[in-house]
Amino acid sequence: MLHIECPWCGFRDDAEFHYGGEAHITRPDPSKTLTDEKFSEYLFLKTNTKGLILERWCHRSGCRRWFNVLRNTITNEILEVYPVTETPSSKQGKETYDRNWRRISPSKKTPKTDEAK
Amino acid sequence: MSSQRFRLKEAGRLDRNAPLKFKFDGKIYEGFRGDTLSSALLANGVHLVGRSFKYHRPRGHLGVGAVEANALIQVGDGNSTEPNVRASQVEIYDGLVASSQNRWPSLLFDLGVVNDLLGGLIPAGFYYKTFMWPRKWWMKYEYFIRRAAGLGKAPTGRDPDRYEKMHAHCDVLIVGAGPAGLAAALAASKTGARVIIADDQQTFGGSLNTDTDCYINDKTTVDWGKDVVATLEGLPDVTMLPNTTVSGYYEQNYLTLLETTKPHFFKSTIQQTRQRLWKVRAKQVILATGMIERPLLFANNDRPGIMLSSAIREYINKYGVTPGQNPLIFTNNDDAYRTAITMRKNNINVAAIVDIRENPDSELFRQAQEMQIPIHVGSAVVTTKGYNRIKSATIIKLSSDGKTLTGERKVLECDCLAMSGGWNPAIHLFSQSGGRVKWNHELATFIPSEATQNVLAIGGCNGTADLAKSLKEGLQAGVSAARLSGNKGHPPAIPSVQEPKQSETRFVLPIPTQKNKLVDEKVFIDFQNDVTLADIQLASREGYNSVEHLKRYTTVGMGTDQGKTSNVNALMLLSQILDCEPEQVGYTTFRPPYAPTTIGAYAGRNIGNLFSPVRTTAINPWHKEAGARFEHVGQWMRAWYYPKANETMRQAVDREVKAARTNIGILDASTLGKIDIQGPDAAEFLNRVYTNAWLKLPPGTSRYGLMLKEDGMVMDDGVTTCIKENHYHMTTTTGGAASVLEWLEEWLQTEWPNLKVYLTSVTEQWAVAAICGPKSRELLKELCTDIDLSDKAFPFMGYREGTVAGIKARIFRISFTGELSFEINVPRSYGLSLWEKLLDIGKKYEICPYGTEAMHVLRAEKGFIIVGQETDGTVTPVDLGMDWIISKTKPDFIGKRALSRRDIIKADRKQLVGLLTNNATDILPEGSQIVEEVLPKPPMSMIGHVTSSYFSPNCGRPIAMALIKSGRDRMGQTVHIPLKNKSIAATITDVNFLDNVSK
Ligand SMILES: [Zn+2]
């Protein structure tokens, strides 16, 4: 069981939390023109990361606040916890943020780079 | 009763004043308190305790504790029985009943042994090769395989024993209470740390109890161990857990421990906890799990009486039992000499020591020589004889490269064989923690390397065999773990140690087999899974050269044993075959649990009524009193229907449904999810989460809303009311309350953090009585005088605050039945009082309480959907025919973009329609598949399914709702619902049965 540090309540077991998937995914503006393909990318495509990932968690059975976490999916080590409205501040967090294909058009990138560690 | 013929006079740490009687395979034996089932059976000369998995060969005790691979037995009787328990881990108690497994009809005479004679016909991968073809025969084969390969039997009834869970935190968790573990515990606690130390044995001390030829600070190892244990017991922050197996090591130093209560204590009183599952979060973990001795690989190395050398030493020194009167020692290292010397000191004749090494020379070797124990150097046991117990061993000299046999055969008689093939650190937990392991050439085994968590491996677990070094590692690890977890005290001094020096090990693997033999003799690698040398060789010839493939193909290292004694031998063999370093072969990853764990321990007290919390409404006592039948809705218990004397469910529901349309029905609607929404941006927020328009809802009015997921599928529905400016009261489905709140919070916090909106769950704060039916206004008038209830002053979808039966109330004129209806909300503590008053005054209107079943029928008569019944996460509002609720003008709401996706606007999506069975007595089963044409047998092309189906008393016939492909274009068409023995025809209609169909 993961031990997660809620920014408001401190360290708690993961049974108190709710997983919210990958963080920093930009929601497309529905009032603008958007192809089905582009929209489906937002809706359905998820990275299956081996290594560092930025993800959202909610302290469901505690303060009910959402926050972001930098986690290593191999070791489950949590390297950074930061507010949901901000970007990571650690070096590894920044690198992980920059590496995400969602911040570049995925159609312009080869799938290989998605898996970069 | 058999006497304890093999019990030694002196040795052992047993309570000899407490003799106990137990039964094994129907026969009564005697042992002492402190015995395990293995030691007690050995004391009575019982070696044959089971039949092997595949070949049904007779098997005896192999090791001690969790290392035992053979002696799997069934313990207890009735529903307390537990299969596949290691006899070496069962502490005996008076009246214990145990039996052997995997034999038929009896242990001594087992028909399955025919598999052994046909052994050549059951090679590795046999099941895969034989039974994968022809495929349809598989079912038949499987039946026989399962019978033949049977381990123990699971109980059929409920486990009567009690289990518990414990949650604990500590600075330092120490796994293993041998010399290194005890030293670490002493150092960590003296340095100020909060310590938990666990050991799977009933007595702390580990090898201190068996290696009695060493001295620490001039004390015997046993005395030193006792002193440390006494010191630790006196310290307030040390928790000592004997009989406790650390079974799982998870992320962030979260470990699970299984504690077994002492059996005589547990059996003597009623309802004592049998096992306790500890969940420990430790700042630092120290693994002092020791080493596991390795078997030697020679022909017929599995006969009863052939045991691990260190296990025999433990049986002698700890349990005062000798496994034989004329044992033979077979070794590749010095440690087995300690077993031989221990035997001689206890007046046991040692047949001989057979040493693979050509020139052993050490203190221990010379000591054995002085004791005049015959020693055969440079030799090996090449085979053994004896069916139910070893009788003799054949030895031959090895060539200098160890690959061939040279010289004369000698047959040595013996009744027991102690084998020692080197040592493997018990790295299972280290591997589970995510740590890497590396190959150590000197020990020819894997030892811990890089850790990924806050963990230290010490002593045997770290590959350290010396006692002095182990103690030093323990003390150092204890101090450093205590310091790392924030403590500052002073550690104890390093003790002085006297111990025999040991020389090098010679690895010859496998022992060459004799030429000119008549039959293929089996060399066992994995005792529990009956995997032989030939199996490994065959698997490799067939290309299974990766360690993971080898494991699955041959089953080596699987089962409850998980390769404790076999893994390293198997991969050393594989590396020899592949002519590479064992490191290149790699190692399989260990997974929890380290030892089998009862399901009961995982369940703990979360069974029966305690499985999940039950929520009840304030009006619940009245429902009970009224004889209501209840149904579970999520965690809620809701009144389902209220049968009167002799009424069937159907009769009761029909009566309730009719009353709600003719007089007054009253429903306890308290379970509906309720969310209080406040803030200057509340209206804007609602406008974004619902599909329809919310910006202009005036105070005192309500609106029905539908929430979608971002993929356009219906998620929840409900009525939200504007209480006053910037203050709303949202209702959700009963089951969706928690998830809707979480959903709203998610959007508010992560997507629209700039909106000033505050959400509070108020589900439990309000009790709700919904009165419904043509006379409901008259009833309410009698109890509420401060609100004008006329249709004009308080129209449909209106909201008023006032007093009902003297209680301050919120009244919503909303309806889930299509009838005139008021939902009266009062603070929870007034709920019962309000309900009773309404029923009391309502008598003259023939008020009728109705349950959830009638509520379902009433809404279906009007064609109202229930989210979760008509929808399943794949249904859009358009599919439901609810286009009217989707705003065309709003720039954004959750799910808006998805509704124009190509797939969502396709014409052949399943659409919600009504279904009327052509025969007005047929009620369709909910969930039934719908077809256009009935074929003699499946498959048939399915066009939809029935979502709701009831008998409608107000329509006078059965009604149903269904999702059918292009359903709205099929109005009036006939479809078919094929059931097991018949097929029902039905006509597609509108869903509003009450207004459009029956009239
Ligand atoms: Zn929190």
Q: Is the pLDDT of residue A110 over 50?
A: no
- The domain that holds A88 is classified in CATH as 3.30.2270.10
User: Within a domain: residue A19?
Assistant: yes
Q: What is the 3-state secondary structure (H, E, C) of B124-153?
A: CCHHHHHHCCCHHHHHHHHHHHHHHCCCCC
Level-2 CATH architecture, domain B1-155: Roll (3.10)
Q: What is the 3-state secondary structure (H, E, C) of B813-871?
A: CCCCCCCCEEEEEEEHHHHHHHHHHHHHHHHHHCEEECCHHHHHHHHHHCCCCCCCCCC
Half-sphere exposure of B465 (CA within 13 A, CB side): 18
| Helix B309-319 / helix B335-345 crossing angle, nearest 10 deg | 40
CATH superfamily of domain region B907-996: Aminomethyltransferase beta-barrel domains (2.40.30.110)
Instruction: Point out the residue among B281, B891, B892 whose CB comes nearest to the CB of A3.
Output: B281
Residue of A nearest to B454 (CA): A77
Does B827 sit behind a cis peptide bond, omega within 30 degrees of 0 on the bond before it? no
Q: Does A50 touch chain B (CB under 8 A)?
A: no
User: Within a domain: residue A55?
Assistant: yes
CB contact under 8 A, A3 and B251: yes
User: Within a domain: residue A58?
Assistant: yes
Judged by CB atoms within 8 Å, which residues 520-579 of B form the interface with A? none
CA distance B460 to B50: 30
- The size of the A-B interface in CB pairs under 8 A is 64
Instruction: Point out the residue among A18, A28, A56 whose CB comes nearest to the CB of B897.
Output: A28
Q: Does B13 touch chain A (CB under 8 A)?
A: no
B741 three-class SS = helix
Residue of B nearest to A84 (CA): B750
Distance B738 CA to ligand 1 centre (A): 17
CA distance B688 to B893: 4
A50 lies in which domain range?
Answer: 3-26+41-116
Distance A62 CA to ligand 1 centre (A): 5
Q: Does A83 touch chain B (CB under 8 A)?
A: no
* Averages of pLDDT over each 10 residues, chain B, 999 residues: 80 87 94 94 94 86 91 87 90 91 70 64 60 53 51 83 94 98 97 96 92 94 96 95 95 95 62 89 97 96 96 95 96 96 95 96 95 96 94 95 91 97 95 94 93 96 95 97 92 92 91 76 91 92 88 85 89 91 84 88 92 95 98 95 96 97 97 98 98 97 97 97 97 94 95 96 97 97 96 97 97 96 98 98 97 98 96 96 94 94 93 96 96 92 97 96 97 96 95 79
Q: Does A30 touch chain B (CB under 8 A)?
A: yes
Q: Does A75 touch chain B (CB under 8 A)?
A: yes
CA distance B385 to B579: 33
Q: Where are the domains of chain B?
A: 1-155, 162-291+425-498, 295-421, 514-578, 614-670+767-792+815-875, 907-996
**Residue B31, token pair as written in the block:** 């042992």
pLDDT at position A106 is: 45
Query: Could you say which DSSP state residue B105 is in?
Result: B
Residue of A nearest to B750 (CA): A84
Does B162-291+425-498 match B614-670+767-792+815-875 in CATH topology?
no
Tell me the nearest-neighbour CA distance from B727 into chain A, angstroms.
21
Q: What is the pLDDT of residues B197-233, one digit of tens each?
A: 999 998 999 999 999 899 999 999 999 999 999 999 9
CA distance B462 to B473: 9
pLDDT at position A116 is: 39
pLDDT at position B161 is: 86
For chain B, the distance separating the N- and C-terminal CA atoms, rounded to the nearest angstrom, is 88
Q: For the CA atoms of chain A, what is the radius of gyration? A: 15
pLDDT at position B143 is: 53
- The verdict on domain B162-291+425-498 having CATH code 3.40.630.30 is no
CA distance B797 to B731: 14
pLDDT at position A114 is: 42
Distance B749 CA to ligand 1 centre (A): 14
Neighbours of B117 (CB within 10 A): 10
Question: Which of the residues A18, A27, A69 would you substitute to probe the B interface, choosing the one with the greatest number of B C-beta atoms within 10 Å?
Answer: A27
CA distance A103 to B145: 55
User: Within a domain: residue A36?
Assistant: no
Instruction: Point out the residue among B281, B745, B901 whose CB comes nearest to the CB of A64.
Output: B745
Across B42-134, where does the E strand assignment appear?
Answer: 50-51, 58-59, 72-75, 82-86, 96-100
User: Within a domain: residue A7?
Assistant: yes
Chain mean position to CA B6: 41
**Residue B432, token pair as written in the block:** 């589970």
CATH superfamily of domain region B614-670+767-792+815-875: Probable tRNA modification gtpase trme; domain 1 (3.30.1360.120)
CATH C-level class of B514-578: mainly alpha
CB contact under 8 A, B892 and A20: no
Q: How many domains does chain A have?
A: 1
Strand order, beta sheet including B392-398: B379-385, B392-398, B405-413
CATH superfamily of domain region B295-421: FAD/NAD(P)-binding domain (3.50.50.60)
pLDDT at position B546 is: 86
Q: What is the pLDDT of residues B913-941, one digit of tens each?
A: 999 999 999 999 999 999 999 999 889 99
Q: Are B838 and B849 in contact (CB under 8 A)?
A: no
Tell me the nearest-neighbour CA distance from A1 into chain B, angstroms.
6
pTM, rounded to two decimals: 0.88
Tell me the nearest-neighbour CA distance from B708 into chain A, angstroms.
14
Question: Which of the residues B589, B711, B750, B757 would you substitute to probe the A interface, choosing the one with the greatest number of A C-beta atoms within 10 Å?
Answer: B750
CA distance B295 to B415: 18
Distance A69 CA to ligand 1 centre (A): 13
Neighbours of B379 (CB within 10 A): 23
Mean pLDDT of chain A: 85
Distance A58 CA to ligand 1 centre (A): 8
Q: Does A63 touch chain B (CB under 8 A)?
A: no
Instruction: Point out the residue among A1, A36, A66 whose CB comes nearest to the CB of B250.
Output: A1
Tell me the nearest-neighbour CA distance from A4 into chain B, angstroms.
9
Q: Does A66 touch chain B (CB under 8 A)?
A: yes
* Alpha-carbon distances, residue B451 vs B175, B285, B355, B481, B842 (angstroms): 16, 11, 37, 14, 73
User: What confidence tier does A115 reach under pLDDT thresholds 50, 70, 90?
Assistant: very low
Adjacent-strand bridge partners of B175: B198, B287
Strand order, beta sheet including A52-58: A18-22, A52-58, A66-72, A78-83
User: Within a domain: residue A33?
Assistant: no
